[in-house]
Amino acid sequence: MEYKILGTVMQALEITLAQGEAVYTESGGMAWMSDGIDMKTSGKGGLGKALGRMLSGESFFMTTYTCQVPQGLITFTPESPGKVIPLNLKAGFSMICQKDAFMCAEESVELAIHFRRKLGTGLFGGEGFILQKLTGPGTAFVEIAGEVQMIELKAGERLKVDPGHIAMYEPTCNYDIEMIKGVMNWLGGGEGLFLATLTGPGKVWLQTMPLSNLAGSLKRYITTS
């Protein structure tokens, strides 16, 4: 499998498949493809995994695209302006992603639901209890709204983040929530009552424009009759 990420603001993922190679995505995730690619939609993994995917922001059904000719081309596009990030996952290695981040992956990659362990991180962590977990081996692709900044934390190094800006992180990082100090910071700081704290070692991917912020900005321009 070979791939290209095209564009800047509204990117497209162009994948070239050799005969017999396959990728899967959520229902409706494909934009266009060449002739000779077989399309098969199923509950992939059974009822339990399908329901778990729905809770993590994906569709109940997943569609697998398999190349039946010497070479085929298939293109996927994101749901919002932002970046497409490739993840080359080794066997048994996982990545924790925000809800609805999954774009597509090779058949060998497992997509599963991931729960935050602590009550506080679920209630006040910006994205709720439920996240997505991608486990290798294989290549997967995620879509993240806005621009993306990757920060690598050393062991014990801490990073405080507005929770909605956490797009993805390695499972070696510890994720927790702490309350902002000071009444005036609560009332006038504009950051809410809580900040997320990520402690290394591990890599963290941060997004400049969470979809919730974008939706909030657009809401005041939308009128209902």
pLDDT at 176: 85
In Å, what is the CA distance from 23 to each residue of 54, 56, 73, 146, 218? 19, 20, 11, 25, 34
pLDDT at 190: 46
Residue pLDDT tens, the chain, 225 long: 999 999 988 899 999 999 999 999 987 789 999 999 999 987 665 555 555 555 545 566 789 999 999 999 999 999 888 999 999 999 999 999 988 899 999 999 999 887 765 544 444 444 445 788 999 999 999 999 999 999 999 999 999 998 889 999 999 999 888 766 644 444 444 455 678 889 999 999 999 987 766 666 677 777 655
pLDDT at 185: 44
pTM above 0.85, yes or no: no
Number of Cβ within a 10 Å radius of residue 143: 23
Residue 181, class by beta-carbon neighbours within 10 Å (0-12 exposed, 13-18 middle, 19+ buried)? exposed
Residues 6+ apart with CB under 8 A from 102: 26, 56, 57, 58, 111, 132, 134, 140, 142
What the block records as the tokens of 41 is 């939609």
pLDDT at 31: 94
- φ, ψ (nearest 5 deg) of residue 85: -115, 120
What the block records as the tokens of 156 is 């014990």
Alpha helices in the chain (DSSP H): 47-55, 119-124, 183-188, 211-219
Cα gap 107→166, rounded to integer Å = 27
Contact 116, 155 (CB under 8 A): no
Q: Of 149, 167, 168, 151, which is closest to residue 159 (Cα–Cα)?
A: 151
What domains, with CATH codes, occur in the chain? Answer: 2-219 (3.60.160.10)
pLDDT at 124: 46
Residues 6+ apart with CB under 8 A from 90: 136, 137
